[in-house]
A and B are shown apart, each in its own frame.
Chain A
Amino acid sequence: MAEAGYPDDLRYHDQHDWVRIEGGTATFGITWYAQDTLGEVVFFEPPEVGTTLTKDSAYAEVESVKAVSDVIAPMSGEVTEVNDALADSPERINEDPYGEGWLVKVTLSHPEEAEALLSAAEYQKLLDR
């Protein structure tokens, strides 16, 4: 498992997702806290490429041995790529949640939604509460 951490260059959603924004596109994933709470991920059910995601709505599922959890879209947009490697190695979500464990790449339809997301420091404050 990865060490606990929340990179400063990412934006965070309070439902424990992270976003890496690069111009009009973004990469989504779940945070260290989310994967730690869930436990060893054994299955990732991705959306299809082309799916329209709506901010704050579920777009995928991650399952551990014991539990299933919806993944919430931190921003709106259209899925352009899913992390196919997770089909065979879903444990990458635990091992490297901000790197090889990324979930989807998205073309953002409302880039201004980023303003409502949290910084790493704000997200950690939320976790400490």
Chain B
Amino acid sequence: MRTPFYEQHLELGAKLVPFAGWKMPVLYEGIREEHTAVRTHAGMFDVSHMGEVEVEGPGALAFLQLVLSNDVAKIAVGGAQYSCICNESGGVVDDVFAYRLGSDRYLIVTNAANHATDLQWLGRWSRDYDVAVRDVADRYAMLAVQGPHARAVLASTLKIDLPERFHVAAHNVGRRPALICGTGYTGEDGVEMLIDPEVAIPIFKELRLAGVVPCGLGARDTLRLEVCYPLHGNELTPERNPIEADLGWCCKEETGFLGSPAVAAARAAGTAERLAPFTIEGAGIPRAGNPVLGERGEQVGVVTSGTFAPSLELGAGMAYVRADLAAPGTEVEIDVRGKRRPARIASKPLYSR
């Protein structure tokens, strides 16, 4: 599938790769410079592959309290909140942002690879509620504009008041209705814009002229990894619960969400493994799947994401490790294709300004 920005990516000579059924740009000029543009100035990402689901009706809040792990009642109109969707065993089906657009109208932004699964899941559990669950992914092109200067550039080019962090606002962009969300996946300030696909390319061009650097999924991955945001499919899976993924903060078991008994049990008893960030001490770049080794060379975990971290200028990643070894400062080794690389468990985030 092609996003509304596809022709623009071709025109810019982006390197396109298949991702969850979409042809997405992994980079335009280079991951490192795109990464740095977001850390120091402003970059933009086509994230139209992400899905949108609208949940509307008198039963919307009660339904979302069932399927989302966070306390949805805490979201005011115009607010945003991060949640997991858990299965009955407490495993993570997806991690999503919920935006409250009206008193009984919400928008859920899903991961591309999970959109179809989420729709089916939400549809199945909505039957007993007075609520409509609609796939509205085709309605939007999604552009994330991120970086310390992102808001200033957007304010001057689009001439709109931008919502604060974790808020959402309806505005016209390119004279068409749009939703501007004060969220992102880079650790920098900025917004994610849901705009009309018809105006996607003109808006992209306008922002580019204003100095916003086009960035691919490659930089998106290194940016999120440096600030330890989990990626579903890597850190989060239906076999892992939010407690071991260190997402206990977005689970409010008292709301009685699906899987909450299992999550409560994991929280009370502790988990055998914990997700922990780490950095390599010296040479070597960890990759997903690399074994984590303890002091006697025994396997004590596995790397879920690894990369060269451009802002840290060293190899870094996240791994599930035995809970007693998950404390920051713990020395471990990472088996990088047969070479044992000394590493140290770190605290979140790996990068901060």
Q: Which A residues lie at the B interface, using CB under 8 A?
A: 39-40, 42-43, 45, 61, 63-66, 68, 87
Determine how close the nearest CB of chain B comes to the CB of A38; give it in whole angstroms. 11
Contact across chains for A68 and B287 when beta carbons are under 8 A apart: yes
Contact across chains for A65 and B218 when beta carbons are under 8 A apart: yes
Contact across chains for B30 and A39 when beta carbons are under 8 A apart: yes
Q: For residue B284, which residues in chain A have a CB less than 8 angstroms away from its CB?
A: 43
**Extra A-B contacts (20), CB below 8 Å, given A63-B285, A65-B31:** A39-B27, A39-B31, A40-B30, A40-B31, A42-B308, A43-B284, A43-B285, A45-B283, A63-B308, A64-B31, A64-B308, A65-B32, A65-B222, A65-B307, A65-B310, A66-B26, A66-B218, A66-B307, A68-B287, A68-B337
Q: SS class of chain B's interface: helix, strand, loop or mixed?
A: mixed
The size class of the interface chain B forms with chain A is 10 to 19
Complex CA–CA separation, A63 to B144 (angstroms) = 28
Complex CA–CA separation, A7 to B270 (angstroms) = 61
Chain B, residue nearest A36 (CB): B15
A–B Cβ pairs within 8 angstroms, 5 of them = A43-B308, A45-B339, A63-B285, A65-B308, A65-B310
Determine how close the nearest CB of chain A comes to the CB of B91; give it in whole angstroms. 28
User: Most chain-A Cβ atoms within 10 A of its Cβ — which of B222, B283, B308, B339?
Assistant: B308
Contact across chains for B285 and A68 when beta carbons are under 8 A apart: yes
Q: For residue A61, which residues in chain B have a CB less than 8 angstroms away from its CB?
A: 337
Contact across chains for B337 and A43 when beta carbons are under 8 A apart: no
Complex CA–CA separation, A40 to B222 (angstroms) = 14
Q: For residue A42, which residues in chain B have a CB less than 8 angstroms away from its CB?
A: 32, 285, 308
Q: Which B residues lie at the A interface, using CB under 8 A?
A: 26-27, 30-32, 218, 221-222, 283-285, 287, 307-308, 310, 315, 337, 339
Complex CA–CA separation, A43 to B315 (angstroms) = 10
Q: For residue B26, which residues in chain A have a CB less than 8 angstroms away from its CB?
A: 66
Q: For residue B31, which residues in chain A have a CB less than 8 angstroms away from its CB?
A: 39-40, 64-66
Q: For residue A65, which residues in chain B have a CB less than 8 angstroms away from its CB?
A: 31-32, 218, 222, 307-308, 310
Q: For residue B308, which residues in chain A have a CB less than 8 angstroms away from its CB?
A: 42-43, 63-65
Q: For residue B339, which residues in chain A have a CB less than 8 angstroms away from its CB?
A: 45
Closest 10 CB pairs of A and B: A65-B31, A42-B308, A65-B308, A40-B30, A40-B32, A63-B285, A66-B218, A43-B285, A65-B307, A65-B222
Q: For residue A68, which residues in chain B have a CB less than 8 angstroms away from its CB?
A: 285, 287, 337
Q: For residue B315, which residues in chain A have a CB less than 8 angstroms away from its CB?
A: 43
Q: For residue B287, which residues in chain A have a CB less than 8 angstroms away from its CB?
A: 68
Determine how close the nearest CB of chain B comes to the CB of A13; give it in whole angstroms. 22
Complex CA–CA separation, A25 to B27 (angstroms) = 38
Q: For residue B283, which residues in chain A have a CB less than 8 angstroms away from its CB?
A: 43, 45, 87
Complex CA–CA separation, A68 to B93 (angstroms) = 30
Chain B, residue nearest A44 (CB): B283
User: Most chain-A Cβ atoms within 10 A of its Cβ — which of B285, B287, B315?
Assistant: B285
Determine how close the nearest CB of chain B comes to the CB of A97; give it in whole angstroms. 15
Determine how close the nearest CB of chain B comes to the CB of A37; give it in whole angstroms. 9
Determine how close the nearest CB of chain B comes to the CB of A16; give it in whole angstroms. 17
User: Most chain-A Cβ atoms within 10 A of its Cβ — which of B26, B32, B222?
Assistant: B32
Complex CA–CA separation, A42 to B307 (angstroms) = 10
Complex CA–CA separation, A65 to B316 (angstroms) = 11
Chain B, residue nearest A61 (CB): B337
Q: For residue B218, which residues in chain A have a CB less than 8 angstroms away from its CB?
A: 65-66
Determine how close the nearest CB of chain A comes to the CB of B291; give it in whole angstroms. 16
